[in-house]
Amino acid sequence: MSGYWARRTGSALLVLGLVLVLNFVLFRMMPGDPVASIIDPNFSPEAKARLSEVYGLDRPLPVQFLRYVRSTLTFDFGISFLTGRPVVEELKSRLPNTVMLLGTSLVLSSLIGTWLGMKAALKRGSLLEKCVLWSGALSFSFPSFFVQLVLLMAFAAALPLFPLRGTLSVPPPAGGLPLLLDYLWHMALPVFSLVLLGFGGWALYVRNLMVKILGEDFILLARARGLPERNIILGHAFRTLLPPLLTIFLLSLPGIVSGAVITETVFSLHGVGRFLLEAVTGHDYPAAGASFFLLALLTVSCNLLSDLLYGLTDPRVRMERGGGR
């Protein structure tokens, strides 16, 4: 078991290292002179050189890279070119919102999707199964921002039930409970839209896996042994379903994190994704690099977590190499 964990952690660290390299290469190669965007072009060359020095842009690339790695690993992302504030401060205020948005919608859509998918697999040919199949196909073909724009237009613009933009009202209400309610009111539509977009894919996967599992010999055997149906479904079929489900979860994570950029842009949420978009379009290297790194870190750590859970759910992994009893 410890061997499996060590290998998984090692490969996660490798991915993170490669992300660092990629990140550096990507954001150093961005077009547009960052010095030009913060300094008046009429400044004297000496002043420009001095500012380059302050931001470390005059050093050779390898030195810049080492400095970059050191500062990234200590979460010191430098000063944003655009806002002039430390990037880490900007990110600190945004990360909770992104994690809230993605976490809540992920939990809700996976729960609903798994439940519907299992129901559909148990009732082949029913209306419910048809609906699950269709919702799966639709969730793969409808662009997320389109669905979100339609929701926004219907439930925020035409029927003013929800706010059009933002994470909190301006100015935010005073006091703990009103503040929390205001926050939930602002997050309701984004989370709902992500659940609406996400549950179909889950349901389709679970249904397909479950149909396959229910056709396996060990289910037949369990039925022949006269076990109660509930026991067969939850104890045998669902247990077998878990490992592949985790794999799918793992593979869908990067896409979900990417979705944060779009969702936060549509709903103008105060999150890391929208910060990244603003940084990329504004040639704000430190901010863009930091938010990309943070999103990658989020993905890799969720990846690692589900890898470790995989080890817990699949006995074959547990037995592998030096683990087990």
Partner 1 sequence: MKGLLKRWSFWCLLVLAALALFGTRLFDALPEAEVAAPFSKPLWLDRSLPPTMDLELSGGHPAAELDWVFGAPSRFSLRVETALPAPSRFVEWTIPGGKTFRLTPLNRGVELDGRDIAFKRSLGLPPFGDASSALFPERGTYRIGLSGEGEWEGSVKIRLEGGRWGLLGTDQRGRDIAALFVAGIRVSLLVGIFATLLATFLGTSLGLAAGYRGGWTDAVIMRAVDLLLSIPLLPILMALAALWGKGLWQLILILSVFSWMGTARTVRALTLTLRDAQYIEDLRGLGAPAGYILRRHLLPETLPVLLATMTLGVPGAILSEAGLSFLGLSDPRVISWGRMLHEAQSFGAFTAGAWWMLLPPGLGIALLCLVFLDLGKYLEERVDPRLRGGNVL
CB of 162 to partner 1, least distance (A): 13
CA-CA distance, 125 to 47, in Å (whole number)?
74
Residue 80 carries which side chain, given as an amino acid letter? S
Which of 51, 82, 128, 133 touches partner 1 (CB under 8 A)? 133
Q: Looking at 100, 120, 257, 290, which residue binds partner 1 (CB under 8 A)?
A: 257
261 touching partner 1, by CB under 8 A = yes
61 binds partner 1 (CB under 8 A): no
Residue 210 found at the interface with partner 1 (CB under 8 A): no
Residue 213 or 295 with smaller CB distance to partner 1:
295
Asked if residue 221 binds partner 1 (CB under 8 A), the reply is: no
Count the residues of the shown chain that bind partner 1, applying the rule CB under 8 A: 58
Integer Cα distance of 276 and 288 in angstroms:
5
Binding mask 157-196 for partner 1 (x = CB under 8 A): xx-----x--------------------------------
* Choice between 195 and 300, CB closer to partner 1: 300
Q: Which amino acid is located at 19 in the chain?
A: V
The one-letter amino acid at 135? S
Q: Which of these segments, 84-92, 108-116, 151-159, 167-175, binds partner 1 (CB under 8 A)?
A: 151-159
Residue 76 CB contacts under 8 Å (≥ 6 apart), including other chains: 88
Nearer to partner 1, 50 or 124 (CB): 124
Subset of residues 7 to 26 that bind partner 1, contact rule: CB under 8 A: 11, 14-15, 18-19, 22, 26
Minimum distance between the CB of residue 33 and partner 1, rounded to whole angstroms? 13
Q: Is there binding between residue 140 and partner 1 (CB under 8 A)? A: yes
Contact between 127 and partner 1 per CB under 8 A:
no
Q: Are the C-beta atoms of residues 322 and 4 closer than 8 Å to each other?
A: no
Binds partner 1 by CB under 8 A, chosen from 295, 310, 311, 314: 295
CB 135 within 8 A of CB 200: yes
Instruction: Give the residue from 260, 262, 104 showing the smallest Cα distance to 195.
Output: 104
213 binds partner 1 (CB under 8 A): no
Q: How many CB atoms lie within 10 A of CB 57?
A: 15
The Cα–Cα gap between 209 and 203 comes to 10
- Residues in the chain, how many? 325
Helices (H), the chain: 2-28, 34-38, 45-55, 61-73, 87-122, 127-141, 144-152, 176-214, 217-224, 229-231, 238-266, 272-281, 285-313, 315-319
DSSP-assigned letter for residue 233: I
Q: Which residues bind partner 1 (CB under 8 A)?
A: 11, 14-15, 18-19, 22, 26-27, 29-31, 130, 133-134, 136-138, 140-147, 149-150, 152-153, 157-158, 164, 211, 250-251, 253-255, 257-259, 261-262, 265-266, 276-277, 280-281, 283, 288, 291-292, 295-296, 299-300, 303
